[in-house]
């Protein structure tokens, strides 16, 4: 299944303000959102950066806003979303975006 | 940027935090961590921490010592294991006094449960020895110790990646780290450095370990002249969630969970008639794979079932609630109604940086050390786990030996002044390494090299090994190391450059993978977690020795051995 990830990006060295970047990826219903982000980073765009570590919902590093709701990217699977194959990924509110 | 401290601790897991607390408020201590401190992987420890409190049934530290020695397949150093098991009850009470919320018995004492390989009366029957806080024991200890560190004013440098140790005239006097947020190099000048950087499970494709568990501290110490010890002993935990490797705690079997093959048979009864599903991890992992090879995997696939449906919802939701959540989220399984599909997953490095029982790092088999350099926790090899670690002994290890390392560092720093850093910029080497990666024009990507390494190691250097495959793996790893020289970084920025970090990590992991494979190749016997299909028996005559490795740079590591310390228990056949 093709999924689209629309990800909020901001690099203080080159950007004056944040913008959304779109990526397309083949996904399975059981893929974690973190798996998808990792594959985008490894296969398409190594400049993508986000926090992650344990990958099973214990450490709490990969908290982010997924389709408007806060969650851990490693705890949310593609099948958990009714938006089918569109995902908007944004940073947590109330934190500085570096 | 330059900093000066009395002591720098690398790693903010339990070993690092416990050592920091021991250093006292009059010691200026910095903790460097590649993740925010409470994200450390100690927090993922689930099942418990072993101690012969005897709260549930009669127990003695000597029984715990015997179990640990036998569990190690007689490769653990018995003087160190005695320290570990004798100090265990004190360690639990210390945690209790710091505020760790352990589960309780109805009488209000600290509750204990059964764990693999822990027995009463020198192997007679399974015993309840693991103290626990539901199935998030590591999490609550980590949070408690972190708060203690904050109270003591210990300074944290979070999201700093260490790159090089500063060693001058055989004395360690600092460490260089890369700040992920902005790409700045920092030098931490100190009287002593403690490495508490944890494991390296990410060397293997299927692992319960965090992305951060890439063995950075082990590899950096190795490159700086420290000896690595017993690297071929890599623990595969029998019950990782099928395909994902996410850990399902041994506490599940401690509470009565049972493994079944496709015929619904409780197959561990055949392999370990006395303690069945509570046999040590190395044995159960092999048994699961043997069942699968015999065509007894579920639906002909490479997994078996872990059944806890008979335990009842109340016990599961009160004592195994995290597990319930993992199974639901990742396997779509309601554990009160269905079994969990499981297969072995890379879990723990018994090997690591060779240290003595006070955390001092060894460079050879003559107990020579690098002054001012210490290691504790999973990155160190004391060795208390020998060829196979028992469940709930690693939380104990990090706390007992983290404390002892802290105590010996405290003594050491009062005997010396801050070593002088003459002349050259101590960050120069790290700056050159970063420049080489950032300016590289090669075609290689670190992600491709890492994926290949993980596949090779999983296929041929995991639970079952044989000589022919290991010889080929050594060649393959060598080629991957050569390819590493041609990695180019796509992200040219200095703000959260994960691409750069990935490239550093794959280099560290390849150095360790090479030591693991060389050890597995040289050790032509089977012991604990190291199983050679072409030599399936233990060979005490030749191999009742620790493997040691010295860094070889572009060549494979130099391999040598040292004797095992045996005090109390002579090697016997290991049956359960």
Inter-chain contact B498–A53, Cβ cutoff 8 Å? Answer: no
Q: Contact B490/A14, CB-based, under 8 Å? A: no
Give the minimum alpha-carbon distance from B570 to chain A in angstroms, rounded to a whole number: 40
Is residue B446 classed exposed, middle or buried when 0-12, 13-18 and 19+ CB atoms within 10 A define those classes? buried
Instruction: Quickly state the pLDDT bin for A84 (edges 50, 70, 90).
Output: low
Cite the beta strand spans of B366-497 per DSSP E. Answer: 369-375, 380-381
Per the DSSP assignment, residues forming a β-bridge with B342 are B241, B304
Which of B375, B256, B355, B234 shows the shortest CA–CA distance to B308?
B256
| Mean local confidence (pLDDT), B148-156 | 96
B271 contact partners, CB below 8 Å, separation of at least 6: B279, B283, B287
- Tell me the mean pLDDT in the region B443-451: 95
pLDDT at B418 over 80: yes
**pLDDT class of A97 with cuts at 50, 70, 90:** confident
DSSP letter (8 states) at residue B42: G
Q: With a CB-CB cutoff of 8 Å, which residues 16-35 of chain B face chain A?
A: 35
Note whether B290 contacts A: Cβ–Cβ < 8 A: no
- Which of B286, B305, B314, B392 has its CA nearest to residue B46? B392
Q: Give pLDDT tens digits for B163-207.
A: 999 999 899 999 999 999 999 999 999 999 999 999 999 999 999
pLDDT digits (tens, 9 = 90+) for B498-523: 999 999 999 999 999 999 999 999 99
Query: Residue written as tokens 């974690």?
Result: A32
DSSP B381: E
- Cβ contacts (< 8 Å) between B143 and chain A: which residues? none
Catalytically annotated residues of B = 281
Question: Model confidence over B391-415: pLDDT tens digits?
Answer: 999 999 999 999 999 999 999 999 9
Q: Is B327 on the interface with A (CB under 8 A)?
A: no
Dump pLDDT digits (tens) for B27-70: 999 999 999 999 999 999 999 999 999 999 999 999 999 999 99
CB contact at 8 A, B350 and B386 = yes
Q: Are B279 and B271 in contact (CB under 8 A)?
A: yes
ipTM of the complex: 0.95
Task: Nearest by CB to B499, from A43, A47, A55: name it.
Answer: A47
- Enumerate the β-bridge partners of residue B369: B362
Question: Testing the interface with B: which of A53, A73, A97 to mutate, by most B Cβ within 10 A?
Answer: A53
pLDDT given for residue A85 in this prediction: 85
| pLDDT reading at B423 higher than 80 | no
| Closest Cβ opposite residue B211 in set A32, A55, A60 | A55
Q: How far apart are CA B113 and CA B115, in angstroms?
A: 7
> Which tokens go with B373?
């350099």
Given a contact cutoff of 8 angstroms between Cβ atoms, the answer to whether B61 and B86 are in contact is yes
Sorted by sequence, the CB contacts under 8 Å of residue B309 that are 6+ apart come out as B335, B336, B337, B338, B339
String of DSSP letters for B424-436? S-TTHHHHHHHHH
pLDDT value at B285 more than 80: yes
Cβ contact, residue pair A61, B41, below 8 Å = no
**Cβ contact B174:B187 at 8 Å:** yes
Is A98 a residue whose pLDDT tops 80? no
Burial per residue of B175-204, b for 16 or more beta-carbon CB atoms within 10 angstroms, e otherwise: bbbbbbeebebbbbbbbbbbbbbbbbbbbb
Q: Are strands A86-90 and A2-9 parallel, antiparallel or unpaired?
A: parallel
| Mean pLDDT (whole number) for B92-118 | 97
CB contacts of B491 in chain A (<8 Å) are 46-47, 49
Residues A52 and A49: their CA atoms lie apart, in Å, by 10
Q: Which of the four pLDDT bands, split at 50, 70 and 90, describes residue A82?
A: confident
Closest Cβ–Cβ partner in A42, A47, A61 for B35: A61
pLDDT at A83 over 80: no
* pLDDT 10s digits, A52-72: 999 999 999 999 999 999 999
Using beta carbons and an 8 Å cutoff, which residues of A are at the interface with B?
11-14, 30, 32, 41-43, 45-49, 51-61, 75, 77, 98
For residue B295, the model assigns a pLDDT of 96
The strands making up B125-131's β-sheet, listed across from edge to edge, are: B49-50, B125-131, B112-120
Query: Does residue B43 sit at the A interface (CB-CB below 8 Å)?
Result: yes
**The pLDDT of residue B340:** 97
Mean residue pLDDT of chain B comes to 96
Q: What distances in angstroms separate CA A50 from CA A4, B106, B181, B405, one per listed residue?
A: 18, 45, 11, 34
Please report, to the nearest 10 degrees, the dihedral formed by the alpha carbons of residues B450, B451, B452, B456 taken in order. 100
Nearest residue of chain A to residue B40 (CA atoms): A59
Please list the alpha-helical segments (H only) found in chain A. 33-39
pLDDT tens per residue, range B232-282: 999 999 999 999 999 999 999 999 999 999 999 999 999 999 999 999 999
Of all residues in chain B, the one with the smallest CA distance to A58 is B44
Residue A21: phi, psi to the nearest 5?
-125, 140
Tokens of B71: 């569990």
Residue B560 above 70 pLDDT?
yes
Contacts of B244 in chain A (CB under 8 A): 56
Residue A13's pLDDT is 87
Q: What SS3 class is residue B96?
A: helix
Residue B24 near residue B410 (C-beta atoms within 8 A): yes
Q: Which residues of B touch A12 (CB under 8 A)?
A: 495
Contact in structure between B207 and B345 (CB atoms under 8 Å): yes
Mean pLDDT, range B435-439, rounded to an integer: 93
Partners of B306 in beta bridges:
B259, B340
């Amino acid at each position: 299944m093709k999924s689209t990830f629309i990800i909020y990006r901001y690099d203080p060295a080159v950007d004056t303000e944040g913008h959304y970047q779109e990526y397309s990826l083949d996904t399975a219903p059981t893929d974690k959102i973190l798996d998808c982000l990792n594959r985008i980073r490894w296969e398409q765009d190594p400049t993508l950066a986000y926090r992650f570590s344990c990958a099973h919902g214990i450490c709490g590093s990969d908290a982010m806003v997924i389709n408007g709701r806060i969650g851990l990217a490693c705890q949310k699977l593609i099948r958990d979303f009714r938006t089918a194959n569109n995902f908007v990924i944004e940073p947590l509110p109330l934190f500085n975006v570096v | 940027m330059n900093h000066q401290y009395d002591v720098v601790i690398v790693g903010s897991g339990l070993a690092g935090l416990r050592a920091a607390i021991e250093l006292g408020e009059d010691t200026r201590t910095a903790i460097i961590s590649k993740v925010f401190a409470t994200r450390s992987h100690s927090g993922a420890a689930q099942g418990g921490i072993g101690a012969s409190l005897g709260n549930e049934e009669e127990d003695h530290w000597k029984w715990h010592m015997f179990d640990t020695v036998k569990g190690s397949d007689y490769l653990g150093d018995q003087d160190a294991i005695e320290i570990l098991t004798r100090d265990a009850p004190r360690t639990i009470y210390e945690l209790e006094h710091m505020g760790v919320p352990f589960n309780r018995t109805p009488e209000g004492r600290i509750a204990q449960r059964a764990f693999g390989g822990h027995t009463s009366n020198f192997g007679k029957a399974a015993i309840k020895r693991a103290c626990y806080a539901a199935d998030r024991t590591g999490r609550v200890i980590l949070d408690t110790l972190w708060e203690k560190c904050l109270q003591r004013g210990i300074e944290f440098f979070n999201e700093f990646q260490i790159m090089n140790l500063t060693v001058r005239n055989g004395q360690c006097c600092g460490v260089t780290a890369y700040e992920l947020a902005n790409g700045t190099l920092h030098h931490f000048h100190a009287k002593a450095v403690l490495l508490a950087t944890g494991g390296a499970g990410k060397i293997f494709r299927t692992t319960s370990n965090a992305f951060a568990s890439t063995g950075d501290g082990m590899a950096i110490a190795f490159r700086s002249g420290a000896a690595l010890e017993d690297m071929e002993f890599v623990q595969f935990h029998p019950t990782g969630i099928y395909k994902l490797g996410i850990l399902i705690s041994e506490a599940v079997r401690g509470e009565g969970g049972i493994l079944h093959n496709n015929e619904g048979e409780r197959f561990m009864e055949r392999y370990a008639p006395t303690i069945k599903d509570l046999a040590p991890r190395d044995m159960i992992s092999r048994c699961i794979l043997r069942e699968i090879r015999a065509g007894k995997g579920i639906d002909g696939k490479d997994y078996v079932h872990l059944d806890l449906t008979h335990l009842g919802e109340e016990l599961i939701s009160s004592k195994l609630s995290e597990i319930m959540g993992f199974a639901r989220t990742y396997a779509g399984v309601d554990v009160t109604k269905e079994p969990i599909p499981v297969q072995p997953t890379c879990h723990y490095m018994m090997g690591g940086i060779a240290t003595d029982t006070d955390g001092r790092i060894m460079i050879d088999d003559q107990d020579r050390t690098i002054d001012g350099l210490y290691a504790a926790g999973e990155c160190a090899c004391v060795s208390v786990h020998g060829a196979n670690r028992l469940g709930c002994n690693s939380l104990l290890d990090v706390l007992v030996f983290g404390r002892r390392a802290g105590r010996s560092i405290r003594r050491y720093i009062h005997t010396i002044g801050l070593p002088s850093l003459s002349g050259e910029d101590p960050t120069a080497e790290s700056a050159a390494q970063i420049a080489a990666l950032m300016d590289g024009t090669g075609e290689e990507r670190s992600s491709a090299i890492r994926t290949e390494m993980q596949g090779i190691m999983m296929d041929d250097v995991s639970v079952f090994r044989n000589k022919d495959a290991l010889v080929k793996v050594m060649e393959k790893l060598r080629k991957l190391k050569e390819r590493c020289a041609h990695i180019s970084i796509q992200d040219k920025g200095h703000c959260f450059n994960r691409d750069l970090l990935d490239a550093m990590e794959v280099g560290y992991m390849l150095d360790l993978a090479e030591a693991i494979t060389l050890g597995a190749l040289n050790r032509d016997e089977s012991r604990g977690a190291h199983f050679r299909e072409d030599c399936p028996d233990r060979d005490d005559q030749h191999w009742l020795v620790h493997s040691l490795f010295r860094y070889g740079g572009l060549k494979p590591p130099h391999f040598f051995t040292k004797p095992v310390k045996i005090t109390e228990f002579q090697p016997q056949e290991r049956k359960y």
